[in-house]
Amino acid sequence: MNAVSAPPERVRRCAARLLAAIVLALPLSGCSTWSDGPAYYWQSAAGHFAVMRQTRPIEAMLDDPSVDAALRERLRTVLAIRHFASDSLGLPDNGSYTGYAELDRPFVVWNVFATPELSMRLVQWCFPVAGCVSYRGYYDQQAAERFAARLRTEGYEAVVRGVPAGPLALEGIRVGLIESLCAAEGIAFERRRIHRDELGRADELMISSATQEILPVTLLDGKPVGNGIPGPLHRRLHQAYQRAKSDPAIAGWS
């Protein structure tokens, strides 16, 4: 498994922030057990540092003749997508997705998702600095499985999902919500790899993120996508997404 992440020079800044978060977490752990409090933050920090230590700048790898040619081509695509996001979509131009790490495990992290029995509302966990999220992430699969098992003994429905660093959509609640919206709207949904040539033939393209929700892509490689304006599928999904945000039954998914 491989991971695309921040460059090594950012490790020191990230370390300071994560250590500050651990210190802040100590008074917040209250009556929690050790595994719920400082130990959880420690595994998060240690796991993140382990990935960062293995990270190499993608630009340097492209100039390294010892790097496999197929891998270099994939990394060039990563940088092209990264530049497109900043230049054409106005997303932040920072160090994200500019480093690469080889990992000897099937997933980067494992996320635990939980709901009360017969509920569609995800349980949220709140952390210093990061805020509230609808999952708990672990760099060790067994630790994630133990936490999920404990949640089940407390009456919750809990699942563990590995988070890959690859070309497919990450396992998470947002892609599940979009799949559900497509089903409700009668729009075919298929999760698979897409060849670059297919993008050029598409009538509509969209991307999704926590901050942008569902965003239409109207220009690709300097050429208009479809008619060059947001299409009917985007309008339907955007409207369905807005309705889902205000629906108490699935508010935890938005």
Q: What is the pLDDT of residues 92-105, one digit of tens each?
A: 888 888 899 888 88
Please check the confidence at residue 179 and state whether its pLDDT lies above 50.
yes
Please report, rounded to a whole number, the percentage of residues in the chain having pLDDT higher than 70.
74
pLDDT tens digits along 188-202: 777 666 777 788 889
Q: What is the mean pLDDT of the chain?
A: 78
Q: What percent of the chain has pLDDT over 90?
A: 24
Q: Does any domain span residue 107?
A: no
How would residue 212 be classed by pLDDT, with cut points 50, 70 and 90? confident
* E strands in the chain: 2-5, 56-57, 99-102, 109-116, 125-127, 131-133, 136-138, 156-163, 205-209, 213-217, 219-220, 223-224
In a domain? residue 235: yes
* 79 lies in some domain: no
Predicted pLDDT of residue 129: 65
Q: pLDDT at position 3, please?
A: 54
Confirm whether 187 is domain-assigned.
Answer: yes
Whether 243 is covered by a domain: the verdict is yes
DSSP state of 219: E
Average pLDDT rounded to a whole number, residues 224-234: 92
We report the CATH number of the domain holding residue 204 as 3.20.10.10
pLDDT over 50 (residue 26): no
> Domain residues for 228?
173-253
* Residue 248 lies inside a defined structural domain of this protein: yes
Report the predicted TM-score, pTM, of the whole model to 2 decimal places. 0.54
Banded pLDDT at 249 (limits 50, 70, 90): low
In a domain, 43, yes or no: no
State residue 188's pLDDT score: 78
Q: Spell 122-133 as b/e; 16+ CB within 10 A means b.
A: bbebebeeeeee
Looking at the domain assignment, is residue 147 inside a domain? no
- Confirm if 109 and 139 have CB atoms less than 8 A apart: yes
- Contact, 244 vs 253, CB < 8 A? yes
- Total domains present in the chain: 1
Query: What is the structure's pLDDT at 208?
Result: 82
**pLDDT digit string, tens, across residues 97-151:** 889 988 888 888 898 989 888 876 778 888 776 677 788 999 999 999 999 999 9
